[in-house]
Chains A and B, each alone.
Chain A
Amino acid sequence: MNGLRELVSALAQKHGTRRESLLPILQGIQAHEHYLSDDAMVEVARALDLSTAQVYGTATFYSFLVTRPQGRHVIRLCRTITCVMHGKNQLLKELETLLKVRVGETTADGLFTLLETNCLGQCHQGPAILIDDEPYTRLTPERIRVIVAEYQQKAALESENSGLINS
């Protein structure tokens, strides 16, 4: 909670404490915590002198803001028509098998949340996904396996390193 308070006050410092600052602040919390907890929204309401209902109302309107815990990385798979025409369903099947989750779920190791989303503006090179902010296009089941493996390797390396620092 203390860390949260510091985070919110740092964001309020940066973006201001007007109602207009709300969306950038919520985006900032999400980037840091991967989701908006009840505690975080209460803290924002306090900092901006809003009711928690106002904060919650804004937060839940936007599909990129979430109020339930998510994995470290969020995979958003485009489900709009031209990506569907170019193999979105095979890609989804591959991801579900690979990660052992269904759409909306988070992997057991907490590394990935798998979601579907609407047109990503990459229709000429579909099927397309976003992993966090990064777009990946012209995907095939083979390519997605390689990409997921890269994220997994990176995470494994990071946890090894942080283990070294802690010990």
Chain B
Amino acid sequence: MAPRHLMRLDLIFKDEHDVAPLVRQTLARGRDDIVNELIASGLKGRGGAGFPTGLKWKLTADAPGDEKYVICNADEGEPGTFKDREILMRVPEKVLAGMAVCAKVIGARQGFIYLRGEYRFLRAQLQQVIDGFHAVLDEAGLPFRIEIFMGSGAYICGEESALFESMEGQRGEPRNKPPYPTQCGFRNAPTVINNVETLAHTYSIFKYGAEKFRDLGVQDSRGSKVFSVSGDTPVPGIYELEFGMTLQRFVEDFGDGDTKAVQVGGASGFCVPRKRFERTIIGYQGKLTGTSLPTGGSMMLFNSSRSMYNVLHNYLEFFVEESCGQCTPCRVGTQQLLRGIEGVKRGELSSATLDALLDLAETMRLTAKCGLGQSVANSFASIVENFREEMIY
């Protein structure tokens, strides 16, 4: 079924497997020319944090160092996200093309795709595509090679600095920031790390021009976005849509008529209750009206038969397990939040405990070392505040 209101786009998945002509053409352009086009497009990272991609490439190109790296982040572990798998299955050539152009811009000879262990079944097929792509690079005269590095089941390794640690044979524990990867990434060398979808978008931008990409979306959120839609929906799946839609519109197209809440951005994102659908816009923080919510693309719908306590409980179990344990606010905080809501539910702790837990989550946002611990408060606060009775009774 096609969405009724929202226009489905077909940029990313458009069947263009022969990327060789565009790769040759783009590699022949000047570095500044390429970077400026990327900056003009307004493309921001699709891995969740939304850093401007053109600027990231420029900073890395300008960073001192002979050794530089391009890494494609295919660790996709955020609950409710499956778009990167789909992109790697259907249009891997575009991702490789984006990596190659980036390599030319920053001066990298080696690139990696960090593929999560859960996607090992994609490996053989992807390797074949890479082998074929290397021939295209040789023809174009770009000395650049791409390797697959397999993850081994750790959500935290999607965090960029944990990912570098993992590739270096260490425990996947995030590093302190700064320095940022653009200065000091894999092997302490300047590194561009981009999400799978981000890289695929760069291909479309080089192919169709920055203007076309900029025309899509709104204000600070340009272009299209691949959404992973799951939960209580008659039409679960992958959808490429324009940025800037209201959640109301989204629910009209994807809900089952009884949608009570939507979790935007996975377990580390926000839960939006029905009364806020109209005011919530999907896009990066910027000059949007109402509340704008950034997202890696995970959209989970819940209907009125679902207990939001169970949803939150499931998320907290996820965080307890996936916390790398390196810093106290996150290691202890996630466990205390989980025990706390269990205690309240069983009636062993008073409902006022929820307020103390909200404070704790806020403290974690301020004191945790990396994005995992910092973002637990997103889902925790948005669920507890909007569905307080469900936490108690």
Binds B, one of A6-14, A57-65, A91-99, A101-109: A57-65
Q: Are A63 and B228 in contact (CB under 8 A)?
A: no
Interface membership of chain A positions 115-135, coded 1 if the CB is closer than 8 angstroms to chain B and 0 otherwise: 001111111111000100111
Q: Are B236 and A123 in contact (CB under 8 A)?
A: yes
Interface membership of chain B positions 255-285, coded 1 if the CB is closer than 8 angstroms to chain A and 0 otherwise: 0000000000001000000000000000000
The answer to the question of B60 belonging to the interface, with a C-beta cut-off of 8 Å to chain A, is no
Rounded to whole Å, the gap between the CB of B110 and the closest CB of chain A is: 12
A84: chain B residues within 8 A (beta carbon): 310, 314
Q: Are B121 and A133 in contact (CB under 8 A)?
A: yes
Q: Are A130 and B118 in contact (CB under 8 A)?
A: yes
A122: chain B residues within 8 A (beta carbon): 82
Q: Are B118 and A80 in contact (CB under 8 A)?
A: no
Rounded to whole Å, the gap between the CB of B228 and the closest CB of chain A is: 7
The answer to the question of B120 belonging to the interface, with a C-beta cut-off of 8 Å to chain A, is yes
Which residue in B80, B150, B167 is a CB contact (below 8 Å) of A27? B150
Q: Are B170 and A58 in contact (CB under 8 A)?
A: yes
Q: Are A21 and B172 in contact (CB under 8 A)?
A: no
The answer to the question of B180 belonging to the interface, with a C-beta cut-off of 8 Å to chain A, is no
Q: Are A21 and B169 in contact (CB under 8 A)?
A: yes
Q: Are A27 and B121 in contact (CB under 8 A)?
A: no
Q: Are A121 and B167 in contact (CB under 8 A)?
A: no
Distance, CA A84 to CA B317, complexed state (A): 13
Interface membership of chain A positions 69-87, coded 1 if the CB is closer than 8 angstroms to chain B and 0 otherwise: 0000000000111101100
Rounded to whole Å, the gap between the CB of B295 and the closest CB of chain A is: 14
A46: chain B residues within 8 A (beta carbon): none
The answer to the question of B191 belonging to the interface, with a C-beta cut-off of 8 Å to chain A, is no
Please give me the residue from chain B that is nearest to A130 by CB atom.
B118
Q: Are B79 and A119 in contact (CB under 8 A)?
A: yes
The answer to the question of B182 belonging to the interface, with a C-beta cut-off of 8 Å to chain A, is no
Distance, CA A27 to CA B154, complexed state (A): 14
A110: chain B residues within 8 A (beta carbon): none
A-B residue pair count with CB separations less than 8 angstroms: 118
The answer to the question of B85 belonging to the interface, with a C-beta cut-off of 8 Å to chain A, is yes
Q: Are B236 and A62 in contact (CB under 8 A)?
A: no
Q: Are B80 and A82 in contact (CB under 8 A)?
A: yes
Distance, CA A136 to CA B170, complexed state (A): 31
Assuming the contacts A61-B172, A81-B314, asked whether A121 and B152 have C-beta atoms less than 8 A apart, the reply is no
The answer to the question of A5 belonging to the interface, with a C-beta cut-off of 8 Å to chain B, is no
Distance, CA A124 to CA B230, complexed state (A): 5
Rounded to whole Å, the gap between the CB of B98 and the closest CB of chain A is: 21
Which residue in A19, A57, A61, A124 is a CB contact (below 8 Å) of B168? A19
B238: chain A residues within 8 A (beta carbon): 124
Q: Are B80 and A118 in contact (CB under 8 A)?
A: no
Assuming the contacts A85-B306, A123-B79, A124-B237, asked whether A22 and B169 have C-beta atoms less than 8 A apart, the reply is yes
Q: Are A23 and B236 in contact (CB under 8 A)?
A: no
Assuming the contacts A81-B311, A130-B118, A135-B121, asked whether A121 and B230 have C-beta atoms less than 8 A apart, the reply is no
Q: How many residues of A contact B (CB 8 A)?
A: 36
Q: Are A61 and B315 in contact (CB under 8 A)?
A: no
Which residue in B153, B173, B230 is a CB contact (below 8 Å) of A123? B230
Q: Are A63 and B121 in contact (CB under 8 A)?
A: no
The answer to the question of B232 belonging to the interface, with a C-beta cut-off of 8 Å to chain A, is yes
Q: How many residues of B contact A (CB 8 A)?
A: 50
Distance, CA A19 to CA B187, complexed state (A): 11
Q: Are A81 and B315 in contact (CB under 8 A)?
A: yes
Rounded to whole Å, the gap between the CB of A45 and the closest CB of chain B is: 12
Assuming the contacts A23-B166, A81-B315, A85-B232, asked whether A65 and B121 have C-beta atoms less than 8 A apart, the reply is no
Q: Are A82 and B153 in contact (CB under 8 A)?
A: no
The answer to the question of B206 belonging to the interface, with a C-beta cut-off of 8 Å to chain A, is no
Which residue in A65, A85, A133 is a CB contact (below 8 Å) of B152? A65
Assuming the contacts A58-B170, A121-B118, asked whether A63 and B150 have C-beta atoms less than 8 A apart, the reply is no
Rounded to whole Å, the gap between the CB of B195 and the closest CB of chain A is: 14
The answer to the question of B362 belonging to the interface, with a C-beta cut-off of 8 Å to chain A, is no
Which residue in A21, A27, A61, A119 is a CB contact (below 8 Å) of B171? A61
Distance, CA A64 to CA B118, complexed state (A): 9
Assuming the contacts A118-B318, A125-B236, asked whether A27 and B228 have C-beta atoms less than 8 A apart, the reply is no
Interface residue ranges of B72-94 to A (CB < 8 Å): 76-82, 84-85
Distance, CA A84 to CA B167, complexed state (A): 32
Which residue in A20, A65, A117 is a CB contact (below 8 Å) of B167? A20
Distance, CA A16 to CA B365, complexed state (A): 40
Please give me the residue from chain A that is nearest to B156 by CB atom.
A61
B324: chain A residues within 8 A (beta carbon): 61
The 19 sampled A-B contact pairs (Cβ below 8 Å) are A20-B167, A20-B169, A23-B149, A57-B171, A61-B172, A63-B153, A79-B314, A80-B79, A85-B231, A118-B77, A119-B79, A121-B76, A121-B77, A121-B84, A121-B85, A121-B116, A123-B79, A123-B231, A134-B121
* Extra A-B contacts (15), CB below 8 Å, given A18-B169, A82-B80, A119-B318: A19-B169, A19-B170, A58-B171, A61-B173, A80-B79, A80-B314, A81-B231, A82-B79, A82-B300, A117-B118, A119-B80, A120-B118, A121-B77, A123-B228, A134-B121
List residues of A whose CB falls within 8 A of some B CB: 18-24, 26-27, 57-58, 61-65, 79-82, 84-85, 117-126, 130, 133-135
